[in-house]
Amino acid sequence: MGWSQSFSHVSDAIYEADRNARAGMRVPARIVADEVLFGQIGRDRSIEQLLNVATLPGLVGHVVGMPDMHEGYGFPVGGVAATSVTDGVISPGGIGFDINCGVRLLATNISRGDVDVEPLLHQLMRSVPAGYGHGGRLELSHADLDRILEGGAPEIVRRFELGSEEDLACIEGGGQLVGARASAVSDRAKHRGRDQLGTLGGGNHFLEIQLVQAIYDREAARTLGLELDQITVLVHTGSRGLGHQVCTDHVRAMDASLARYGITLPDRQLACVPFASPEGGAYFAAMCAAANFAFANREVLTHRVREAFREANPNAVVRVVYDVAHNIAKIEQHGGKRVCVHRKGATRAFGPDDDDVPAPYRAIGQPVLIPGSMGTASFVLVGSGASTLSFASACHGAGRAMSRTAARGQVKGGELRRELASQGIAVRCPSNAELAEEAPIAYKDVERVVDVVHRAGIARKVARLVPVGVLKG
Amino acid sequence: MRQPRHRFGEHTGEVELTVEAPSLAALFEEAARALAELQAEDAGGAPTRSEERITLTSSDRDALLVDWLNELVYHGEVNKCVYADVTVARIDERELEAIVRGREPLAPRTAVKAATWHGLRIRSCDDGVEATVVLDV
């Protein structure tokens, strides 16, 4: 069991370890999980990683592990930590390489019986570049890229005339983080991302055509414009190589600055500097710029999805329900303090009446989008604003339970492709090996993960979506 | 004498790479081949690009390995190729000079975002050196 033994089961879905669990901890650690998920989480090194995070200077309250938590690098995936903006640090490892990796849910006016999924998926595959190193179709000048880094999704709508003004009202932060500075992003990062706007990328990124299969909260579903048998699309991608390079650049710079700030760490990937330092400010400005690139990327992909749907059905209407980041740092108020909330594989889950929730949704709370693993259900929830419990953060997915090597050993990509087809799920993925690595068996049970979040009072379930077509990155 | 070789270990979220070789130069060359193998099924084919020279200066030996792999990730992404054909011409604890030739892969596989510092260590053994590094994929 190892570090799991340091935790006590303090309530239905909460485990806690005090700050004596390991040397150097500055705050307690909390994991939101039931017994089954806590047991799964304890099988890899994620708990040790969460306790390492609890040693960072200037933490506020406690560090939090989500029910989908699994081993990452530095921070665990599914880790949340809030640091004081006056005497705390910012750590790029607490955001990850894929800055503003996130999900966008699109709702259509089309029902299951009114669409032929195979040709639609084929068209989406033709218009959405996926996979390793694939450039996109939107060529950007240096000036264009700088404008997007500072202007985010609104720049795509207003300058490139892709997407719509209505979309922007339903994106976290309006799709533009105001702290962004293009000058804080290295030429290398810009070079890496210049031809990647409008692309999915590889790994666990995907674009799924889904069907609303169940509604748990009719009023909230009505507010979000979701109804049974409706076709929806979930887009999961981030800031691509540009964001990866921003993280690489700043972890390296911070590693070199640790001694100057008298910071010692149990793991070099936790490299950090005071939030209020020049290096901290430079990283935050670059991270916001990369996040804007990701919002812009998902806006371009929304345009591509609209094109594909209108080709299949000229009367198709595709509307943004919400777009939320799950790898990001945000400045927020919690417990009366202004803090930098690091969410590494965790979704913001603000409650009703919060000014940061789009006006049409303010009565029900912020939409929380939880993608399942390939072939399993995804969920729409609305946040409860559980500030004290989790800094108003929820899980971000099912969470891996098995390594890629182990998944390839247990699942054959070709067989999985046929099995999904037999369930009525069309799949486009160029590599059978990569398909096997993302097999449902490699993930935790998303239904259980979401139920724990619901029971813990972090967010409440609204709808269940099941895939009918998967375009894998 | 230990022969250069590598293996991909168990890691829930990412890829843990362990490399061993008779010398530091051979270790860095093997790490590059492992990265390319992860990135493309046909990484071992003949190079299709002209020679590139890479020079690096890092804070220490561990950092040099991370910087080396990240340099290859960067060049690979912007040049749309992978680098299995590498020669480390000069290396010490903090500096490296290498000649690399890229191949545009016909069968790309795993997109590697970066080499991380997590759990990073280079260990000297009786007959060579061994390193472990986690790659974000």
Per the domain annotation, does A87 fall within a domain? yes
Interface contact A350, partner B, CB < 8 A? no
Q: Residue A293: which CATH number?
A: 3.90.1860.10
Per the domain annotation, does A382 fall within a domain? yes
Instruction: Supply the residues of A annotated as catalytic.
Output: 396
Per the domain annotation, does A192 fall within a domain? yes
Interface contact A273, partner B, CB < 8 A? no
Interface contact B71, partner A, CB < 8 A? no
Q: In Å, how far is A287's CA from the nearest CA of chain B?
A: 16
* 3-class state of residue A15 by DSSP: strand
CA atoms of A450 and A352, how far apart (whole Å): 19
Interface with chain B: mutation pick from A49, A73, A265, highest number of B CBs within 10 Å: A73
Lookup result for tokens 């997007």:
A148
Check if the beta carbon of residue A276 is closer than 8 Å to that of residue A130: no
Number of neighbouring beta carbons within 10 Å of residue B101: 17
Is the Cβ pair B12, A433 closer than 8 Å?
Answer: no
**What's at A45, amino acid-wise?**
R
Residue A133's H or E segment, with its range, is none
- Residue B6: what are its φ and ψ, rounded to 5°? -145, 160
pLDDT tens for chain A, residues 1 to 473: 489 999 999 999 999 999 999 999 999 999 999 999 999 999 999 999 999 999 999 999 999 999 999 999 999 999 999 999 999 999 999 999 999 999 999 999 999 989 899 999 999 998 887 765 455 567 789 999 999 999 999 999 999 999 999 999 999 999 999 999 999 999 999 999 999 999 998 888 999 999 999 999 999 999 999 999 999 999 999 999 999 999 999 999 999 999 999 999 999 999 999 999 999 999 999 999 999 999 999 999 999 999 999 999 999 999 999 999 999 999 999 999 999 999 999 999 999 999 999 999 999 999 999 999 888 999 999 999 999 999 999 999 999 999 888 898 899 988 899 999 999 999 988 778 888 888 889 999 999 999 999 999 999 999 999 999 999 88
Is the Cβ pair A132, B74 closer than 8 Å?
Answer: no
Number of CB pairs, chain A paired with chain B, less than 8 A apart: 113
Closest CA to A203 of B136, B97, B10, B17: B136
Lookup result for tokens 């190193």:
A133
Cα maximum dimension of chain B: 40
Count how many domains chain A has: 1
SS3 breakdown of chain B: % helix, strand, coil, rounded to 5?
25, 40, 35
Residues near A101 by Cβ (< 8 Å), separated by ≥ 6? A205, A236, A237, A238, A239, A243, A294, A325, A326, A327
Per the domain annotation, does A410 fall within a domain? no
CA atoms of A94 and B106, how far apart (whole Å): 35
Interface contact A192, partner B, CB < 8 A? yes
Check if the beta carbon of residue A343 is closer than 8 Å to that of residue A328: yes
Number of neighbouring beta carbons within 10 Å of residue A86: 12
The burial of A5, by beta-carbon neighbours within 10 Å (0-12 exposed, 13-18 middle, 19 or more buried), is given as exposed
Per the domain annotation, does A415 fall within a domain? no
- Among A72, A96, A132, the residue with its CB nearest the CB of B39 is A132
pLDDT tens for chain B, residues 1 to 137: 689 999 998 899 899 999 999 999 999 999 999 999 999 999 999 999 999 999 999 999 999 999 999 999 999 999 999 999 999 999 999 999 999 999 999 988 889 999 999 989 899 988 999 999 999 99
- Among A93, A203, A400, the residue with its CB nearest the CB of B111 is A203
Interface contact B42, partner A, CB < 8 A? no
The residues facing A70 across adjacent strands are A77
Give residue A295's pLDDT.
Answer: 98
- Among B10, B66, B77, the residue with its CB nearest the CB of A192 is B77
Is the Cβ pair B108, A132 closer than 8 Å?
Answer: yes
Residues near A11 by Cβ (< 8 Å), separated by ≥ 6? none
Is the Cβ pair B59, A188 closer than 8 Å?
Answer: no
Retrieve residue B133's tokens: 């590094």
Check if the beta carbon of residue A320 is closer than 8 Å to that of residue A297: no
**What's at A408, amino acid-wise?**
R
- Spell out which residues of chain B touch residue A433, defining contact as CB-CB under 8 Å: 41, 109
Closest CA to A460 of A218, A229, A236, A230: A218
Give residue B101's pLDDT.
Answer: 98
Instruction: Print the domain residue range for A322.
Output: 2-401+443-472
Which DSSP string do the residues of B100-113 spell out, in sequence order? EEEE--SSB-PPP-
The total number of residues shown for chain A amounts to: 473
Residues near A222 by Cβ (< 8 Å), separated by ≥ 6? none
The burial of A175, by beta-carbon neighbours within 10 Å (0-12 exposed, 13-18 middle, 19 or more buried), is given as buried
Retrieve residue A8's tokens: 């006590």
Per the domain annotation, does A333 fall within a domain? yes
Give residue A223's pLDDT.
Answer: 98
User: CA–CA distance from A227 to each of A220, A221, A224, A470, B38 (Å)?
Assistant: 11, 7, 9, 21, 42
Per the domain annotation, does A417 fall within a domain? no
Interface contact A181, partner B, CB < 8 A? no
- Spell out which residues of chain B touch residue A250, defining contact as CB-CB under 8 Å: none
The b-or-e profile of A110-135 (16+ CB within 10 A means b, else e) is beeeebebeebbbbbbebbbbbbbbb
Interface contact A247, partner B, CB < 8 A? yes
Check if the beta carbon of residue A435 is closer than 8 Å to that of residue A412: no
Lookup result for tokens 């890479």:
B54
Is the Cβ pair B12, A251 closer than 8 Å?
Answer: no
Closest CA to A3 of A23, A14, A13: A23
The residues facing A16 across adjacent strands are A8, A30
Give residue A136's pLDDT.
Answer: 57
Which DSSP string do the residues of A329-389 spell out, in sequence order? EEEEEETTEEEEEEEES-EE---TT-TTS-GGGTTT--EEEE--STTS-EEEEEE---HHH
Per the domain annotation, does A161 fall within a domain? yes
Interface contact B111, partner A, CB < 8 A? yes
- Residue A289: what are its φ and ψ, rounded to 5°? -65, -45
User: CA–CA distance from A106 to each of A360, A397, B32 (Å)?
Assistant: 16, 18, 41
| Structural domains of chain B sorted by starting position, each given as residue range(s) with its CATH number in brackets | 5-136 (3.55.10.10)
